[in-house]
Structure 1
């Protein structure tokens, strides 16, 4: 299907520091953690904690973690995102720009770049398969803020989620099968980024979307409940988050007789710090120390052909 004239696409992801340094990480985390969608505490209470304790303490530690995964061309999230933009633009033959909710290139920069190319309609594709107020809605908020400073606002189509899209499920299954062809089939754990349980209790549909994705993937791979499971990672703060927690699950599996596992992260569209360091390294150590024998991480969809096929279909469908 050919695209309508004067149409462009804005691919959106969370964002990344400009450099693996404490200063750059502090600036990025400051913007990210100041978003009320991410942390909904009262500002007068949260801001002193954020700027007085969290950022000074965490920024140097997180910078070291970024240094361990940084690529020649930059942050993994940025490198893979740029490749996605290039691949999608080649397939659609229309302007495609990248915008990050936090950091650079900003959502405003992405929108302005499209307008400068004569675009009158923008299809916004946040690369979050499962909707959450902490991610997809934060993009929507950021988009509205970005448009406030634009003299001309384009027509906008916002793709909210794609957690059950057939090509998304097939792309995930293809990654798993390719891994199994090389290394053999083991128990599959799907680890999703967590959110506070309170958010879900207040109506965020994220956990239902994650569960639905896992069920569809199990069906596509022909797996039963003893062969696949799901959990939530990247827990932050003291309140209860969605469970089961990935770390606790990895500690328990070997004691339950599962000593060989594969772990994938369906909520992440590209490899980044949370997948390459937290899941591939930290979680492996947890599992092995708990008595596991084999732990292997299955990479994200990144710019794989089926993943780009899915993006093309989403964009064309929105037309």
Structure 2
């Protein structure tokens, strides 16, 4: 009998199975009916979701997805990059079976736990690829893993990688990547913006530590880069609906900078470990256009760590630490 193996499961948010209206609609339905994501009472939220959100938003989102779609693989960039992270991480940690899953639209967490068990893995390290904790992201992954384990008679032992918003390996990787990308630009930005995905302010008010984690990442990265708070600004993107979200909003900050005479900016996204619709299209297209239309002259979107050497080294360092005692 072969010795039990150890599995490492990388998990990110997910992407529609297609870039058409109905695929995006199914994805949004799964995403927006997760009570961790929208915690309004269902009797209040479901009519709004069905009558308005799932009627109009999929068409606009589908257009955005098509602009960044990986045509060769017929998938969203987040799935392509997360797969590459898993494939490139595997040979760096001997004796570990590495795979990836998506919280929404597949490959599902439950299916991938089953696949790792079929490979003989009796111990699994679950790695939510969210540097900053939020109940709508990290906790939702943990919930889904628990549901997958609940149906098993023989459960694998599960460990969960904690949020790594202040981890030295992650901050170092961000700093190295930022320096290299800034050096490759054909202009020198007057201001950099560290843009994180937003969260409804009501969720923060109820105790979610997400904003505090984002501020910590921003402060540590700023110190590592030797930049002032005015040179590396903190902002939040992807506001949805009319309620108050964490601010300042990235779109407003860019508008204000352009109107104040700032001509050259760069935007980095330390809340994402892989480029996706929000970084490639929202920042790289929408917000770029808005900044230039407001009077800006030069705009750069810096890549996430993705499957770069800097990014893989950070993921490996964190994973090895959490595998301590198993490996």
Decide whether the 8 Å contact of 1:232 with 1:243 is kept in 2: yes
Gaps of 5+ in 2: none
The answer as to 2:176 corresponding to 1:174 is: yes
| Offset from partner CA, 1:84-141 (integer Å, 9 cap, x none) | 0101111113111111111110010111111101101111110000111110011111
Decide whether the 8 Å contact of 1:196 with 1:240 is kept in 2: yes
1:267 counterpart (264, 267, 271)? 271
Report the CA distance between 1:35 and its aligned residue: 0.5
Decide whether the 8 Å contact of 2:195 with 2:269 is kept in 1: yes
The 5-angstrom pairing of residues 226-241 of structure 1 reads 226-241=230-245
Decide whether the 8 Å contact of 2:195 with 2:250 is kept in 1: yes
| Offset from partner CA, 1:50-101 (integer Å, 9 cap, x none) | 1222112111221111111001222100110110010111111311111111
The answer as to 2:115 corresponding to 1:113 is: yes
- Give the match for residue 148 of structure 1: 150
Decide whether the 8 Å contact of 2:169 with 2:318 is kept in 1: no
SS in 1 for 2:192: strand
- Give the match for residue 253 of structure 1: 257
Q: Give TM-score, length-normalised by structure 2.
A: 0.94
The 5-angstrom pairing of residues 199-210 of structure 1 reads 199-210=203-214
For residues 173 and 289 of structure 2, the distance between their equivalents in structure 1, rounded to whole angstroms, comes to 28
- Give the match for residue 137 of structure 2: 135
- Give the match for residue 76 of structure 2: 75
Q: CA RMSD in A?
A: 1.3
Gaps of 5+ in 1: none
Q: Deviation above 3 Å: which 4+ runs of structure 1?
A: none
| Offset from partner CA, 1:273-311 (integer Å, 9 cap, x none) | 111100000000111111111111001110111211121
The 5-angstrom pairing of residues 21-170 of structure 1 reads 21-71=20-70, 72-73=72-73, 74-93=75-94, 94-170=96-172
Report the CA distance between 1:220 and its aligned residue: 1.1
Decide whether the 8 Å contact of 2:4 with 2:120 is kept in 1: no
